[in-house]
Amino acid sequence: MNFFKNIFRIVWRPWFYSWVFFTILFALPILIIVISYDRFYKSFFKIARAWGKTILFVMGFKPVVETEEEIQIDKSYLFIANHASLIDVMLMLSVIKNPAVFVGKKEVRKLPVFGYVARKTSILVDRGNAESRKEVYISAQEKLNKGLSIAIFPEGLVPHEDVILSEFKNGAFRLAIEHQIPIVPITFYDVKKRFSWNFFGGWPGKLRVKIHKFIQTEGLTLDDMEATKEKAFTIIYNELVSDMNTQS
């Protein structure tokens, strides 16, 4: 059985990369226009959501979302989720409806085609550069002033396969507290087993997602940042561990 699954994966994996690359390439003429003007960002986000949903669909993935608290479409939030797979961005796009700007690592710029779009639409940070980190807060404020939300994977990396959840970085929580916006913790249960970095791993199926109750930051100060970060980490970590125990 594993032999036939691996034969399938030999086709399935390149299928993913081809769809990601060629869909962006095909849409690039329109994207160049849309991403050239900030006032068109909400239109870009709709295109990005459609792209994310399409990639998941053609790969045989079906998002199944459980919601503990409803997101208001006219509010700004900080969306955070665990980062464990190549499909996390697509899944985040498919789950959140509020136009959000992603904060990511500067290394994304080097990716062909995708890197160009990311440079124009995301907030990219060099975590080893204090000036770059400062610019993130300025850029985030500009986006929030325009009614947008922010999306971050607070681990700052995709952890090793045997790590349930890596320690969260401070940046996301500093942003939320400084701008007094609710934090929306989101758990992605199945991304690691569905499409990890292991070429001969993964399989089509459901992608379960849970949108947890929001962490309110109104009235908090930076003195509360560590406790807020720990609270967010605990929510997602406990959910992942509980699910692992249920599945085993």
DSSP-based helix, strand, coil % in the chain, nearest 5: 50, 15, 30
Total domain count, the chain: 1
pTM for this predicted structure: 0.93
Condensed to tens digits (0 to 9), the pLDDT of residues 169-225 reads: 998 999 999 999 999 999 999 999 999 888 888 999 999 999 999 999 999 999 999
Condensed to tens digits (0 to 9), the pLDDT of residues 148-158 reads: 999 999 998 87
pLDDT at residue 82, as a whole number: 96
Strands 205-211 and 183-188: antiparallel
Structural domain range at position 208: 2-247
Backbone angles phi, psi at 36, to 5 degrees: -80, -15
| % of residues, the chain, pLDDT over 70 | 97
Residue 57: pLDDT over 90: yes
Condensed to tens digits (0 to 9), the pLDDT of residues 15-42 reads: 999 999 999 989 989 988 998 888 899 9
pLDDT at residue 96, as a whole number: 95
Alpha-carbon distances, residue 18 vs 12, 58, 106, 114 (angstroms): 10, 11, 23, 12
Q: Which amino acid is at 149?
A: S
CATH code for the domain in which residue 82 is found: 3.40.1130
pLDDT at residue 80, as a whole number: 97
Strands 149-152 and 100-105: parallel
pLDDT at residue 100, as a whole number: 95
